[in-house]
Structure 1
């Protein structure tokens, strides 16, 4: 069973803070290039030049996205210096960033299932130790798989009004 450390609940910073977890998450990773930077970080890229070469993103936009991901605690900026060169920064996934593996894995899995590329898979989810194929799934608190059509979203304690789950 996969467990993830959850952040402590906090009081809303202001009336304008979104209640919805999806809105708050997209505020951090929802801009164009952000998830692709995170994907590339999972692939081992850490340097600005590696991200720029891989993604083809304009330098000013790439810089802004990296800064936002660092400010949000998804990436950590570390200084490095190659011999004879000036100091530069590398970018590494934090615990929060590594927690996005489920998000990125879900997007990969959805794309392979519902919008496959004719040339084949560009990423494959595997166990790091023995390379067994993996898939993203819902599991209950005992680690038993739950079918996607058996999982529903229900109101949480911060919901503004009662609503019915879609079936």
Structure 2
């Protein structure tokens, strides 16, 4: 079954999903960011088939999310996050905060995050890059940007999707 290609849609969410929307990709990125950088380590941790893992790793390398680096004289590689990939980890941390709040159950969160700057256990929350205030859905208007598919003059707000 062919995956839907979202890369040409005038929507940053769709374009991001085109890169990491397949369910294994965020888990692979989680593992790489946690220090599982070799194929065998990722495969063992996820229990994913070699074929699927190879396809996902190639996809993430092709999109500049991971970089493949040789680690010995044999043709063996490890995978490291690029700058582009590292920024995706922030997105995953926001997903963790949502999952911890709504899905963790009585046992509580499976992992905790200690912030290096203050040494406190915390979670990620989006904040405005200008004023520092929280950015919740009710705190923002969605407006057409320069790459919008909305023709000029047809309104100033984009309906929430």
Q: TM-score, normalised by structure 1?
A: 0.79
Whether 2:43 is the aligned partner of 1:55: answer no
> Which runs of no fewer than 5 residues in structure 1 stay unpaired?
1-15
List aligned pairs for 1:128-143, cutoff 5 A.
128=116, 131-143=119-131
Partner of 1:107: 95
Matches within 5 A, 1:66-105: 66-81=57-72, 86-105=74-93
Shift of 1:41: 1.1
Equivalent in the alignment of 2:4? none
In the alignment, which residue of structure 2 is the partner of 1:24?
15
Decide which of 124, 146, 151 is 2:134's aligned counterpart: 146
Distance (Å, rounded) in 2 between the aligned partners of 1:34 and 1:88: 21
Deviates more, 1:55-64 or 1:154-163: 154-163
Cα deviation code 1:109-130 (max 9, x no counterpart): 0001112244331222221355
Picking from 119, 144, 149, the partner of 1:155 is 144
Structure 1 residues 126 and 160, CA, compared in 2 at 3 Å: closer, same or farther? same
Distance between the aligned counterparts of 1:94 and 1:56, measured in 2?
24
Between the aligned partners of 1:43 and 1:160, the Cα distance in structure 2 is 38
Q: Kindly tell me: are residues 121 and 26 of structure 1, through their superposed partners in 2, closer, same or farther at Cα, counting changes over 3 Å?
A: same
- 1:124 matched to which residue of 2? 112
| 8 Å CA contact 1:77, 1:90 repeated in 2 | yes
TM-align CA RMSD = 2.1
